[in-house]
A and B are shown apart, each in its own frame.
Chain A
Amino acid sequence: MKKIFYLLISGWFLYNPQFSYGSLIEEKNCSACHRLSKVGKEKKGPDLFYAGNKFQSAWLEEYLQNPVTLRKTGTINSPNFLKGGLQNLQQHPILNKNDAVNITQELMEMTLPGLPEEQINPLTKGQIAKTKYEFERTFSCISCHQSLNLAGKPRGGISGPSLINAGNRLKESWVANWLKNPKIFSNKSRMPVYKMDNETRLRFTKFIMTLKKENLR
C-alpha cells in the first residue's frame, strides 16, 4: 500500500512541470521575476501560478518569442511605477521557438482548480456599443487601460495592462472570474473592485474579448 502511495506521489511530481527535473520554468529561472504560487511576496513580473487559466497558448508562445509591452510603466510592484516612462521597463527575455512552445505547455498546466466556466452569448452590435459606453463612462476602465476608440486608434491610460489585444491574449473565463472576484488571483491590485451585476459582468467579459490588434487602424 505504501509503495503504491510513493509511486503515485513521485508520478505526480514528475508529471507536474513545476517540480519535474528539466522544467524549463526552473531552467529559465522564471521565478526570479514571477510568482509561481500565491504564497510569498509579489514580484516585479505578473504572477504565473494561474497562467493556464489566464493566457491563450498561441498568444503566449508568440509573446515569449517576440515580447511586446503591455504595461508601459512596468508592473504595479515596480518601485518606479508611479514615475512612468519607458526607462522603467525591463524587456522580457526572448526565447527560441522550441523553448517558447515547451514553456507555454508548462505554463498551461499551471492553473487554479475549480474556477467556474460560464457560457457567454456573443454580443449584438447594440450591446457592444452600450458596453463600450459603460467601459469608458460608468466604470472608467479607459482611465487606466488602453483600448481602441471608434476609429480603431489606441486610447486610454497606461497604469493598467493594455487591453488593445486582450481578445487574443486572455481567456474569456479568466476575464469573467477576474471581474467577479480579483482576490482569487491577487490580494494586491490598483484596480477598483466592481460589484457588477451578472449580466453586466458577462457582457463586459465578451466586450473585452472583442478587443483585438487586428482592429487597429
Chain B
Amino acid sequence: MLVIGVSGCGEQKTEKNITPKPPLKTESQTFELSNEVTPEPIVVTAKTRETYQWYCAQCHGIKGKGDGINAKFLTVPPRNHTKAEYLETRTDEQFFEAIKFGGLSVGRAPCMPAWGNTLNDSTIHELVRYIRELCQCEAL
C-alpha cells in the first residue's frame, strides 16, 4: 500500500524528455519550431533594442510610436507600441505569435510579416519584453 502510495505521488523525474517538434507549415511557408528553453528571466539588452531598430522600426518607428517610414503607406497602421490601452489586453504569448508567425496568425493585420525564420525564439521573447517596456504595461 505504501509502495502504491509513493509511486502514485508522482513519477520519478528523470531528464525531461524532449521530442523534436515537426516543422510548422502554414499556407506556403515552413517554420522550424525550436525546443529552445526560454532563459529566465528574459532581459532586454542593447542587442534587443538594436534588433527592434533594425527590423521593427521600419514600420513601428524609432520610438515604437507606430510612425515608421512605411506607416503612411500601409492600409492598416502599424501598432503604436507606446499605447498601453490596447497592448495590455494582449498576452505575451499573443505578441510572441504575432512576431513569429505574422499578424494574420493572431487575427490581426496581414501587413505584419512572420519573423520566425529570421529571429530565434529567445530574441522574439526579448522583443516581447521590450514592447512591454515601451508601453509600460503588462497583460491584464
Binding site for B on A (CB under 8 A): 73, 81-84, 134, 136-144, 146, 155-159, 190, 192-197, 200
Whether B58 lies near A197 (C-beta < 8 A) is no
| Interface hits, B68-95 → A, CB 8 Å | 68-70, 73-74
Complex Cα–Cα for A136 and B104 (A): 12
Q: A143-B113, A195-B31 are in contact. Are A158 and B73 (CB under 8 A)?
A: yes
Q: How far is the CB of B53 from chain A (nearest CB, A)?
A: 7
Task: Give the interface centre of B53, B102, B112 by most chain A CB atoms within 10 Å.
Answer: B102
Contact-residue size bin, chain B (C-beta under 8 Å from the other chain): 20 to 34
Instruction: State in angstroms the CA–CA spacing of A192 and B70 once bound together.
Output: 15
- With A82-B68, A195-B30, A197-B29 in contact, is A139–B113 under 8 Å at CB? yes
B12 at the interface (CB under 8 A from A): no
Q: In the complex, what residues of A have CB within 8 A of residue B29's CB?
A: 138-139, 194-197, 200
Interface string of B100-125 (1 = CB under 8 A from A): 00111000001111110110000000
Q: Is B57 an interface residue, CB under 8 A from the partner?
A: yes
**Pick from A73, A83, A143, A200: contact of B74, CB under 8 Å:** A143
B111: min CB distance to chain A, Å: 5
Cβ-defined contact, B115 with A157, below 8 A: no
Q: Which residues of chain A have C-beta atoms less than 8 A from B113's C-beta?
A: 139-141, 143, 192
Assuming the contacts A143-B112, A143-B113, A159-B70, asked whether A137 and B104 have C-beta atoms less than 8 A apart, the reply is yes
* Docked CA distance A83–B103 (Å): 24
Please state if A157 and B73 are interface contacts (CB–CB under 8 Å). yes
Q: A81-B69, A139-B113 are in contact. List 12 more A-B contacts (CB 8 A).
A: A82-B53, A140-B114, A143-B111, A143-B112, A144-B70, A159-B59, A159-B69, A193-B117, A194-B114, A196-B29, A197-B28, A200-B29
8 Å CB contact of B73 from A82, A139, A156: A156
- Which residues of B have CB within 8 Å of A155? 73
| B69: A residues at CB distance < 8 A | 73, 81-84, 157-159
